[in-house]
Structure formats: C-alpha cells, structure tokens
Structure 1
Amino acid sequence: MSTKTLGPVRRKFQPWTDPAAKPLIEFRNVIKRFGDFTAVNDVSLGIYEREFFALLGPSGCGKTTLMRMVAGFDDPTTGDVLLAGQSVKGLPPYSRPVNMMFQSYALFPHMSVEKNIAFGLEMDRLPKGEIAARVEEMLKLVKLESFAKRKPHQLSGGQRQRVALARSLAKKPKVLLLDEPLGALDRKLREETQFELMDLQMTLGMTFLIVTHDQEEAMTVADRIAVMDHGKLIQVATPSEIYEQPISRYVADFIGDVNIIEGRVESAAPVVTIVSEAAGTRVEVNSDTAVNAGDTVYFAIRPEKIAISPDAPAETGVNALSGTVFDIGYLGDVSVFHVRLDGGRTIRATVANRHRLIDRPISWDDRVWLTWGRDSGVVLTR
C-alpha cells in the first residue's frame, strides 16, 4: 500500500462508532489481583480488528497487566478476555494467535538476524522453503536485507528494534502486542520509528496493541487511546478527543501541558460563565457541560490556545489575565512563556516561532496580557 493512501484510510477508520461492529479483543469486567493488590479494577473494553490501540498511563496503572492477559502470561482473577469472540481464559500463550514484542527486544545474541527472525517459524516446524521465504519477506519489510548475516551486537539500537519487530511479525499473528517498544531509542529515532510503525500497521492490516507511558508516542501512533490510573480506565477516545475534550483534570494534566483555573459557575450553557477569585478574572466558555450556578468547576486551557501581548485587550475583565514574565523557554519551534499573575499563580503560554528570533518582542520581567477565546478551553467538573 502506498503511504500516500494511509492518511485518508486512517481518518475513515472508526469501527467503534458502528453498533454492529464486533471487537477483536474484548475485556469483560476484568479484575486482576496480586494478593491484596488490585492491578486491574473492573475493566471493560473493546479493541477492533486493524486498530492501532494504545494503553497509556503511569507506572503501576495496570496497562501492562492488561496486555499480559491478552498474551496469556496472566489470567483475570474475575471477568473474561475474549479474542475473536472466544474466551482465551486459561489458554496458554503458544496457543493464541498473538505475538509480543518486548521492550528489551530479547534477541538471541549468538544468532544472526535471519536466524533470530526464523526461530519461531522453526519451532512451529514449518517447511524450510516457507521459512526462508517468510524471513526474506520480513527482512524486506523492515529494510534490513543487507544485515541478514549480522549478529545483534553488530547492529544499532534502531536496527535491533527492527529485528525484534520482524521476528514478532514473522508468524503472522492476528494481534501484535508492543510493550514499550521504543523506550530504548533516542528521541529522533523514536519519532521516526513511530511513523514507520503506523505505516507498517496499515500496510499489514493487523491489530496493534501498544503499552506506553509516553503521551506523545500514544498520540502519534494510535487510532484510540485508553488512559488508565490505578487499574481503572479513565477515558477511551481518539487522540484529538483526549487532547481537546478531556473528561477530568487527571486526563487533561496527563496528556500534554495544561493550565487549570478553579472557579464558581455564575451562569450555565450554552455559555458557561465562571468567576475565578484565585485568577482574578471571569471566564466565558462555549460549553454544554452539565453544571449549575454555584458549582465549583475547573477551566482547562492548553498553553498554545493563549495569546500573549504587551498590550491590554479591549475588554480586560473577561478571558484575560495580566502578569509578569518570569521565565522563557526557547525550544526552537516554539517559545514557552511562564507568566506570574499578581495573585502569585503561574500561567503558561506557548507561541510558535514563525520567524527567526534575534530580539524577542516579549522578554523577562515584561508586563503582559494573556487572552483566549470562548472555544479555547473546556469546563471540567472533576
């Protein structure tokens, strides 16, 4: 498949919106306990065929335990895990049409690249001709044809990652499980590999399930993301929905940078008006969030949605804050401004560097105004 077609295909792929669609992987009220510790707490979730799905959360949130239950390394304490409509509870890993790529890659150091890829096929006692053809296909797929005879120690980290990926795909599983697969790569190579994984998954038409604590990685590769915390699913949605419409302060804060302003509802939908004494402003938001006058709520706004200027806006009492710049982070493509409000709290604003900077229009200790539109943020009730 040409990479030029991947974008349109990816945008149209939304089986989870079809009530008639059946998940390929299904967790039904799954609870997993280790002694007194509950690692997974009543999780129900469907993952669809050909979906690139990400389990995202901090260490200890239960995401790896969920993956291990798909792989067959753990069974639920209660509940069930289904694959293609059939329960796999108690089924050993080697009897499941899934394969797992580990963070450590787990390559055999004494074997060549081609032998590493062929290992699982040889264990299945496939004919030698079929094994050779499959290995050649995998080497071509990950662009390592010229490295077939090398040993793992003769490869770079990115090349070893490709060998592990090829070995995982060689048996043509229905589901590929990726456990923090890019954690050992440097940032630039990791970013390049993320896009290669996306294209590979679309080309093969396989279901990929990735576990990661890297928000940017999940946002880049996944069709949908499940944000987890303390064994529970907090929100399951597309990357854009997770980022632009988080359902709680936890999700808003975990995915990207965010400013959260606490306040009291003065009036409700279609325009929610919030009075924040702490920030010293009135916030107006186009929102259909179910709130009532007097409720305590939280206004969440991303730094890139905030405009920063030395000039006061026409209306200073609504969606506007003033303060002093006390820190600036220059990241090349963007500059991050930390503005300390008169009340003491800090607000972050991000500005794209569209032009080459020599002298900054706004610098340290400048008095500035921060403004935003009614559609720039969201109202959160928890």
Structure 2
Amino acid sequence: MASAQKSLGNIRRSFEPWNEPSETPLIAFDGVTKRFGRFKAVDDLSLAIYRREFHALLGPSGCGKSTLLRIMAGFEEPSEGDVRLDGQSLLGMPPHRRPVNMMFQSYALFPHMDVAANIAFGLKQDGMAKSEREDRVAEMLKLVKLDGFASRKPQQLSGGQQQRVALARSLAKRPKVLLLDEPLGALDKKLREETQFELMDLQQEMHLTFLIVTHDQEEAMTMADRISVMRDGRIVQVATPEIIYEAPATRYVADFIGSVNILEGAVEDSRNGMTRIAAKAGATIEAESGLDMTPGETVFFAIRPEKLRLSRRAPADEQLNALRGEVWDIAYLGDMTLFNVKLASGDIVRAATLNAARGSDEPIGYDEEVWLTFPADAGIVLGR
C-alpha cells in the first residue's frame, strides 16, 4: 500500500480552485507587458486568479507588482497583452466603469467629510438613493466594527480606525475584486497583525476576491491563499504559502522568503530520489530531491534555520548531514533564539531554536563549539 504524500504545512482551508480543471479564472492577465520608455515594468506576464481567492503579489520595490495592480484598476494601460475580468476584456475601460475597487496605503480619506460621508462618497457618485445609501453605510460600519463613529472626522480617528473607514468605503460598492496596495503599511506591528486576520475573515465572509500588493513576506504568508513572487517584472513562482516556503522553485524565492541557509556544492551521486552533495562548507549532505542531476553538477542546498538541530554533542555520524562550528552571534527574540554559527570554512549558518520553556539549565553561549544536524527531508536541493 502506497504511503500518503507528506503535506508541506497545515491546511488553512480546503480551497484550491486552481487545481480544478472545471474552474475558470475570474481574473486573467494574458501576456501583459508595460513599458515606460525603454524600461519594462511588467514583462510578458500571465496569471490566473480565481473567485474568492485572496491572492498576493509579493516582491521588492521596482519588481512591477504595483504597476500590475494599477493596470487591473485601469490607471495604466498595458503596452501589450490583455486583462480579463469574468471573461470580459478590460482594455480601454475607464477605472470608474470597472467592477473593482482599490484601497490605497494612504487611505485617501476626505478630511472635510465625516466617516459616513466618506463611505457613501462612491455610492452617491453612482446615484444611489439616499435611504439605500444610509442602509449600506450602516451595514459597512457594522462590518468593520465602527458603529457609533459615523459622525467623526478622519482626524478624530486612530490610524487603525482610518484604515477601517477606507476599507468600508472600498467595499461599499460591492466590487467583484478588491485591490489592496500596501494597505497595512502605515499601521504599527501589533495592529497590523490583528488587521491581517480581520481582512482574512472579512474576505471569506463577503465571498470576495482580494488582490493585494505587498513587500512584507509575513503579511503575504499570513493572508494569501496563493502568492505570486515577482522579480524584474516577471512572476518566478505562484504557489500556496506552504509551498513557497517549504519548496521554493528557485534560489531567489528561497532567499527572498524568510530566513534561509544556502550551501553550494557538487553532486556526488543522485538516484532513487536522493542526492548526495559535497558541500563547499565542508560537509557531505544527503537530501531528498526530485531533480535529475549528474555527478559533478553544481547545486545549492537550501535549509531553513528552524530545521537545524543545535547541540554541543557530536552526532553518531559526523560526516553526513552534520556541520561543526562556533557560536558567533546570538539573538534572543522571545519566542525563539537565533544562533549564527561560523564554520571552519568561514561560512555563517543560522539556526533557530524555539523557547518552549521559560529557562534553560545549560544555555548555549558565545564562542562555544556546536554541531548542526538535520534529516534528509529538512531542506531542498536547487539547481543554478
């Protein structure tokens, strides 16, 4: 009997329309290119996003993610390619006619209007009757937990409350897609974390499709059903947060998402789903790998700090999946402790240990000799 395939992470919700052949995308970017002079901000990009999906465009500044969002909103037209929403091309359609709404990082609230008027602004522009507008505003205020704040001005609200007003205004017209451009960037860390979960709950409650642009990896990992990692105007990997983190497709993705150790080496042997690597760091690594590799080929072994076991005691086999070094730096973060370990080769490898107990009888200190060990399935082998 075949064993079940190992899961790469906990299942947040059983929602995978991208794996269903019968499902059609709600949003389709088809060969989209956007040029500004000779510079390509978006380069021949194709992407499918599905109904009720919370999708994140993640990447560093200048990678093209905000340009792609502006193309979707209608603030930019693509130089080439097509953008379709529910099967209909959006090319040439002005922003106000598109069934999408955009929430900006700055919130863009009208300071002379109270909260209710800010939320009702788009509805009034569309000619909605006053009584219906008032009902919709009350519904939105309840949704974002701002009952009783209708008559306040934006300057009388905290940053988090202003963010909720901007969200309520964006949702009031009940768009098919809500576009979020770094929406939480102005909030402090604790409030940002709380708001991430509120946005997730709200998105599922309203059965909407959210497309968010962010450079914050933790934000994307927390909220998104899938993440598109972007680089130089292209998408380098589209996958769930679990796959992006545990099975990155390239060294760039592995290095960009979270903290990772990347060890270069040469293949000694590769067969039966296992690859043996002679690492330049001075160790022999045996790892699970689905790649077809030839002896002598240069490869990279990526392993997350929390996958490494840190110990003063030497392992039974010091030659395999074991690194010896000296503690160089220690960072205590409360929930975990980070150790930078300097190997004899000069490489610095980072290990993380969970502080499950309030104290330790024998804490590891600076300059101590330690061993870092890991099982064959702890990391991933990547090509050039």
TM-score normalised according to structure 1 size: 0.96
Q: Which residue of 2 aligns with 1:272?
A: 275
Offset, 1:280: 0.4
What CA distance in whole angstroms lies between the structure 2 residues aligned with 1:239 and 1:315? Answer: 34
Q: Which residue of 2 aligns with 1:79?
A: 81
Is residue 2:229 matched to residue 1:197? no
Is residue 2:118 matched to residue 1:116? yes
Look up the SS of the partner of 2:127 in the other structure. coil
What CA distance in whole angstroms lies between the structure 1 residues aligned with 2:76 and 2:227? Answer: 22
Look up the SS of the partner of 2:141 in the other structure. helix
What CA distance in whole angstroms lies between the structure 2 residues aligned with 1:216 and 1:198? Answer: 14
Counterpart of 2:357, as a letter, is H
Q: Which residue of 2 aligns with 1:57?
A: 59
Q: Answer with 101-110 or 9-18: which moved more.
A: 9-18
What CA distance in whole angstroms lies between the structure 1 residues aligned with 2:248 and 2:290? Answer: 14
> Where do 1:159-308 residues align within 5 Å?
159-269=161-271, 270-276=273-279, 278-308=280-310
Using a 3 Å threshold, how does the CA distance of structure 1 residues 257 and 9 change in structure 2: closer, same or farther? closer
Look up the SS of the partner of 2:339 in the other structure. strand
Offset, 1:122: 0.5
Look up the SS of the partner of 1:369 in the other structure. strand
Using a 3 Å threshold, how does the CA distance of structure 1 residues 334 and 150 change in structure 2: closer, same or farther? same
Q: Which residue of 1 aligns with 2:7?
A: none
What CA distance in whole angstroms lies between the structure 1 residues aligned with 2:112 and 2:86? Answer: 37
Counterpart of 1:302, as a letter, is R
Q: Answer with 127-136 or 359-368: which moved more.
A: 359-368
Offset, 1:261: 0.3
Q: 2:26 aligns with which of 8, 24, 27?
A: 24
Offset, 1:9: 9.6
Using a 3 Å threshold, how does the CA distance of structure 1 residues 85 and 225 change in structure 2: closer, same or farther? same
Using a 3 Å threshold, how does the CA distance of structure 1 residues 211 and 351 change in structure 2: closer, same or farther? same
Residues 45-86 of structure 1: CA distance to partner in whole angstroms, max 9, x if unpaired?
000010000000000000011111110011110110000001
Q: 2:315 aligns with which of 298, 313, 316?
A: 313
Offset, 1:290: 2.1
What CA distance in whole angstroms lies between the structure 2 residues aligned with 1:360 and 1:333? Answer: 18
Counterpart of 1:137, as a letter, is E
Q: Which residue of 2 aligns with 1:343?
A: 345
Counterpart of 2:247, as a letter, is Q
Offset, 1:342: 1.1
Q: Which residue of 1 aligns with 2:131?
A: 129
What CA distance in whole angstroms lies between the structure 1 residues aligned with 2:131 and 2:234? Answer: 47
Counterpart of 1:168, as a letter, is S
TM-score normalised according to structure 2 size: 0.96
User: Any gaps of 5 or more consecutive residues in structure 1?
Assistant: 1-7
Q: Which residue of 2 aligns with 1:37?
A: 39
Q: Which residue of 1 aligns with 2:5?
A: none
User: Any gaps of 5 or more consecutive residues in structure 2?
Assistant: 1-9
Offset, 1:292: 1.5
Look up the SS of the partner of 1:218 in the other structure. helix
Q: Which residue of 2 aligns with 1:92?
A: 94
Give the length in aligned residue pairs.
374
Offset, 1:10: 5.1
Look up the SS of the partner of 1:12 in the other structure. coil
Offset, 1:361: 2.0
Look up the SS of the partner of 1:147 in the other structure. coil
Offset, 1:206: 0.1
Using a 3 Å threshold, how does the CA distance of structure 1 residues 120 and 229 change in structure 2: closer, same or farther? same
Q: Which residue of 2 aligns with 1:4?
A: none
Look up the SS of the partner of 2:148 in the other structure. helix
Counterpart of 1:274, as a letter, is I
Q: Which residue of 2 aligns with 1:5?
A: none
Runs in 1 of length 4+ with deviation above 4 angstroms? none
